[in-house]
Amino acid sequence: MSKPTVASDWLCGCAGCHMSLLDIDERILQLVELVDLRATPITDLKEPDKEGVTVGILEGGINNTANEEVAKRMRERCKILVALGDCAVFGGVPAMRNFFGAESALKRAYIEAESNDTEGKIPSSPELAEMTRVHALHEVVPVDLFIPGCPPNADVIFYALSELAQGRIPEIKDDKLHWH
């Protein structure tokens, strides 16, 4: 039997959850023994294989139509979809803009921010994805496993991935469960 395949991607997040994934350090060697790491932001492949992967991991909230597309593609191509980190699980930090609206967030970032020159400008181009309200992953596609944390602890990520690799659904509870 071939090894289970894993793909990951990041949406509207800070990449911290992937950094935390890297924090499993040398245990990544154990992991690659167990799984075949396919497309991830830290490997060369950029899209999950068309033939599908066993486990899809998404970090970040869904903040625009492009994110939506990535999430839906991942959902279609993976058997088990994992929401990794608070932004994917709850909406997290990016979702805080929902309290004020995308417009005022853009204004703050591109016009009012202290580091901007006097004539700040909100980028606009037809090529840019359309901003939406920030959603948690499960609001857009069904999610099979939630690993909250900002970021999730490396040990928790390692535990979850190795369980998934061995065909078990990990139990995120007790000391493995944290939301911050």
Partner 1 sequence: MIKLTIDGKNIEVQEGTTVLKAAEATGIYIPTLCSHPQLTPYGGCRLCMVEVEGAPTLQPSCTLPAVNGMVVKTNTEKVMKARKFVLTLIFSERNHFCMYCPVSDGDCELQNRAYDEDMTHWDLQPNWQPFNVDASHPYIILDNNRCILCRRCVRACDELVGNYTLGFEERGADSLLVADYNVPLGESSCISCGTCVQICPTGALIDRQSAYQGKETEVEHHIGVCVECPVGCQRDVLTRDNRLVRIEGDWDAPLNHGLLCEKGRFLPLEDDRDRILTPLIRKDGSLKATTWEEALKVAAESFNNEKGLAAITSTRLPAEDMALFKSIFGDNLKADLVTTLEEGKPTSSLAKMAEKLGKSFETSLESLKDTDAVLSLELDLVDDYQVAGFFIKRQLMNGTKLIVADSKDNKLAEATTMRFPLTSGEEADFLTQLLDAFENSSENPALIEIVNVLKESEKACIVYGEAFAANADETAITLLLNLAEKINARLIGVKGNANSMTAAQLELEAPINVEECQAAFILLGDEDPSQKLVKTLEEVPFVVAQTTYRSQLTGKADVVLPVAMWAEQSGTYLSLDGKMQKAIKSLDAPEGVLTSREVLQKIAKSLSIEPNMDWKASLMKRMPTVQIQEA
How many chain residues are in contact with partner 1, going by CB under 8 A? 31
Among 4, 48, 56, 92, binds partner 1 (CB under 8 A): 92
The residue within the footprint of partner 1, chosen from 150, 157, 164, 165 (CB under 8 A), is: 150
* Residues 36-39: contacts with CB under 8 Å, at least 24 apart: 36/2, 36/3, 36/4, 36/5, 36/6, 37/5, 37/6, 38/5, 38/6, 38/7, 39/7, 39/8, 39/9
Site for partner 1 in 31-60 (CB under 8 A): none
Sequence-distant (≥ 6) Cβ neighbours of residue 168 within 8 angstroms: none
Residue 133 in contact with partner 1, rule: CB under 8 A? yes
Residue whose CB is less far from partner 1, 90 or 158 = 90
140 contributes a contact to partner 1 by CB under 8 A: no
89 binds partner 1 (CB under 8 A): yes
91 near partner 1, judged by CB under 8 A: yes
- Taking the CA atoms of 136, 16, 105 and 58 in sequence, report the sign of the dihedral they define: negative
The rounded distance, in Å, linking the Cα atoms of 138 and 165 is 22
Residue 138 interacting with partner 1 (CB under 8 A) = yes
Chain contacts with partner 1 (rule: CB under 8 A) = 83, 86, 89-93, 95-96, 98-100, 133, 135-136, 138-139, 143, 145-148, 150, 171-174, 177-180
